[in-house]
């Protein structure tokens, strides 16, 4: 991980303009460093995905960014005001500089198009000068990169396993060699064995290609394992941000402590239920003498 910033958010606030309005993200500031894995953790509904959409200018009505700035620091030294982008500038920024693997993305593939057609569509849109042979060659390279046999290029999504579909979505996000990848619950709906394979693949690709990752999940123990730093989000705000090891061994915020306690130990005794607050459903927790397995 480098100490050089690649993406910076300053005081980002996002509101859903409904009746009454809902402020989903409240004055959030953080810096993502080049090559870093930054985990963003919190319970469902805390604003993680809304914040990620704001970083990539993917918000749709009634969601509106009501305050703050987002800056992308390009590898060539150029600073890009993401909030100020529009039209062609915004199209060039997305997927080229910052890409995203969406929540439930393994079901995002077009069911009536082959994998090859969907991968090549990325290049037709963003690299119109590429020849057909180049598009096919790059598509095969991408599948090999994420551990899928290039012979699957001619397959339709229903002919692939969930793990393969997720790997193909990761390949699409990597197609234009972005400097930042935002991953929103990338292992949701996959079984544990496939989840581990996807996580290993992400770590391997990060080491090989050097892109930075914002990894969004409610699974705090997973983030402790893979992240350089972790931001804890609650009710639209960042309540704690620190190194992953520090978050695990010495969490400062009461909410972080409760999140850690909400994951039962494989070795500890059965404990009482713990409420996270604000009326959430109680979750099983270990006794204080237990630990995160």
Q: Please compute the mean of the pLDDT values over residues 204-230 and round it to a whole number.
A: 92
Name the percent of the chain lying above pLDDT 70: 88
Q: 99-138, pLDDT tens digit by residue?
A: 999 877 667 889 999 999 999 999 999 999 999 999 999 9
Q: With 60 as the cut, is the pLDDT of residue 77 above it?
A: yes
Q: Please compute the mean of the pLDDT values over residues 144-170 and round it to a whole number.
A: 92
Going from the N-terminus, what domains does the chain have, and what CATH number goes with each? Answer: 5-261 (3.40.50.300), 264-293 (no CATH)
Q: With 60 as the cut, is the pLDDT of residue 257 above it?
A: yes
Q: Which of these ranges, 115-129, 154-168, 204-218, 256-270, has the smallest mean pLDDT?
A: 256-270
Position 286 scores a pLDDT of: 34
Pairing mode of beta strands 180-184, 212-217: parallel
At 256, list the tokens: 């972080």
Q: With 60 as the cut, is the pLDDT of residue 82 above it?
A: yes
* Cβ neighbour number for residue 163 with a 10 Å cutoff: 20
Q: How many CA atoms lie within 13 A of 153 on its CB side?
A: 16
Q: With 70 as the cut, is the pLDDT of residue 20 above it?
A: yes
Cα–Cα distance measured from residue 274 to residue 284, given in angstroms and rounded to the nearest whole number: 7
Q: With 60 as the cut, is the pLDDT of residue 207 above it?
A: yes
Cα–Cα distance measured from residue 40 to residue 237, given in angstroms and rounded to the nearest whole number: 11
Position 196 scores a pLDDT of: 87
Q: With 50 as the cut, is the pLDDT of residue 170 above it?
A: yes
Let me know how long the chain is.
293
Position 275 scores a pLDDT of: 60
Position 28 scores a pLDDT of: 97
Position 190 scores a pLDDT of: 77
Confirm if 181 and 99 have CB atoms less than 8 A apart: yes
Q: Please compute the mean of the pLDDT values over residues 148-160 and round it to a whole number.
A: 94
Position 283 scores a pLDDT of: 36
Q: With 90 as the cut, is the pLDDT of residue 162 above it?
A: no
Q: Please compute the mean of the pLDDT values over residues 137-157 and round it to a whole number.
A: 95
Q: How many CA atoms lie within 13 A of 63 on its CB side?
A: 17
Position 293 scores a pLDDT of: 30
Q: Is the pTM of this model over 0.85?
A: yes
Q: 44-61, pLDDT tens digit by residue?
A: 889 999 999 999 999 999
Cα–Cα distance measured from residue 77 to residue 81, given in angstroms and rounded to the nearest whole number: 13
Looking at every residue in the chain, the average pLDDT score rounds to 88
Q: Please compute the mean of the pLDDT values over residues 214-229 and round it to a whole number.
A: 92
What separation, in Å, do the N-terminal and C-terminal C-alpha atoms of the chain show? Answer: 26
Position 269 scores a pLDDT of: 64
Q: 265-290, pLDDT tens digit by residue?
A: 656 666 555 565 554 433 333 333 33
Position 149 scores a pLDDT of: 95
At 11, list the tokens: 């005081």
Q: How confident is the model at residue 35 (pLDDT cuts 50, 70, 90)?
A: very high
């Amino acid at each position: 991980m480098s100490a050089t910033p690649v993406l910076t958010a300053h005081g980002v606030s996002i509101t859903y303009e409904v009746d009454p309005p809902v402020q989903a993200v409240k004055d959030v500031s953080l810096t993502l460093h080049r090559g870093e894995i930054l985990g963003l953790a919190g319970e469902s509904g805390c604003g993680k995905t809304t914040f990620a959409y704001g970083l990539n200018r993917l918000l749709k009505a009634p969601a509106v960014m009501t305050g703050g700035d987002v800056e992308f620091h390009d590898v060539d030294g150029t600073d890009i005001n993401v909030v100020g982008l529009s039209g062609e500038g915004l199209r060039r920024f997305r997927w080229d500089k910052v890409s995203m693997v969406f929540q439930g993305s393994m079901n995002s593939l077009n069911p009536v198009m082959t994998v090859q057609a969907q991968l090549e569509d990325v290049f037709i849109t963003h690299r119109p000068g590429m020849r057909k042979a180049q598009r096919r060659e790059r598509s095969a390279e991408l599948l090999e990169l994420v551990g899928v046999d290039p012979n699957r290029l001619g397959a339709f999504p229903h002919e692939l396993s969930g793990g393969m579909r997720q790997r193909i979505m990761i390949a699409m996000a990597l197609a234009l060699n972005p400097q930042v990848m935002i991953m929103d619950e990338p292992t949701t709906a996959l079984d544990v064995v496939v989840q581990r394979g996807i996580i290993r693949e992400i770590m391997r690709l990060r080491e090989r290609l050097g892109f930075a990752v914002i990894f969004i999940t409610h699974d705090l123990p997973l983030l402790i394992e893979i992240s350089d730093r972790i931001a804890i989000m609650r009710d639209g705000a960042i309540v704690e941000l620190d190194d992953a090891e520090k978050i695990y061994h010495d969490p400062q915020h009461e909410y972080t402590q409760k999140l850690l306690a909400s994951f039962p130990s494989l070795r500890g005794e059965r404990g009482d239920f713990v409420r996270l607050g604000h009326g959430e459903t109680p979750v099983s927790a270990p006794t204080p003498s237990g630990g995160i397995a």
